[in-house]
Amino acid sequence: MMHGHRIGAIVLRQLYLMRGSPVRILPMVVWCVIDIILWGFITRYLNTITSTGPSLVPALLGAILFWDFFTRVMHGVATAFLEDVWSRNFLNIFATPLAISEYLAGLVLTSIATSMVGLVVMLALATTVFGLSFFVYGLMLIPFLLVLFLVGIAMGVFASGLVLRFGPPAEWFVWPIPALLSPFAAVFYPLSTLPQWMQYISHLLPPSYVFECMRAILAGRSVSQTSILWAGSMALGYVLLACWFFTRIYHHAIRSGLIARYSAETVG
């Protein structure tokens, strides 16, 4: 049984870190602003040279906003975990009665808070400056964001498990994950443009269904409710699998004494 006050303590610690060092808040906003401005002007330019076609704003700028949201969610979980690694606080946390499920729940809630900040900033910029209207996606906007949120949580927990197993140097496995997944997720192009072997991988990634459905809406085609339900089911399954993976790594570290040797240099 999880205790809410323990979960809240993990979230509160992250809030204290941000309050004590406002510089930590900048990455949540700066990269979102840069991405939206860069892709917003690229989209505006492409619209000028393809003026006879449909507007590219919902397709390109919407895609980058959705993908940035996924990235912020994933990095929100991983960064909250890495804060404990960087500060050598990981052992102190688990010297308390805190359960691993409560710790993971705290990381997830922290990610919700930080990713929502980035989402609001991106929505404000994309809507007011570049005229992106999310009404074009209709009610499907909610399941789209939910699927991307769940996959972001799964990837963040999985990446944290890798760092727990291989040590702080493994944090370099964390940051490239969105870039490695993006070609298979078909963020900017239909799945049909990919070679067959890449499509097999794409069908295992819930975000690919989100972006396919997004393009279907913009093209005026009907959206497959089955595909988005399948994507949501897969995303939820990946969250459970990632939590199981992190828990197994944690118990392995306890049994083997690995956690006692945890340092900022390496883990043997």
In a domain, 268, yes or no: no
Which two tokens mark 84? 């404990």
52-61, 62-71, 144-153, range with the lowest pLDDT: 52-61
141-153 average pLDDT score: 94
- pLDDT above 70 (res 246): yes
What integer best gives the mean pLDDT of the chain?
85
pLDDT value of residue 210: 94
* Measured distance CA(262)–CA(158) in Å, rounded: 18
- pLDDT above 50 (res 82): yes
In a domain, 83, yes or no: yes
* Measured distance CA(188)–CA(205) in Å, rounded: 15
| φ, ψ dihedrals at 159, nearest 5° | -65, -40
Contacts of 244 by beta carbon, 8 Å cutoff, 6+ apart? none
In a domain, 266, yes or no: no
Buried b (16+ CB within 10 A) or exposed e, 53-66: eebbbbbbbbbbbb
- Residue 199: pLDDT band (50, 70, 90) is very high
Range of the domain at 48: 4-261
In a domain, 267, yes or no: no
In a domain, 214, yes or no: yes
pLDDT value of residue 267: 42
- How many domains are contained in the chain? 1
214-223 average pLDDT score: 85
203-231 average pLDDT score: 90
Counting Cα atoms < 13 Å in the Cβ hemisphere of 251 gives 7
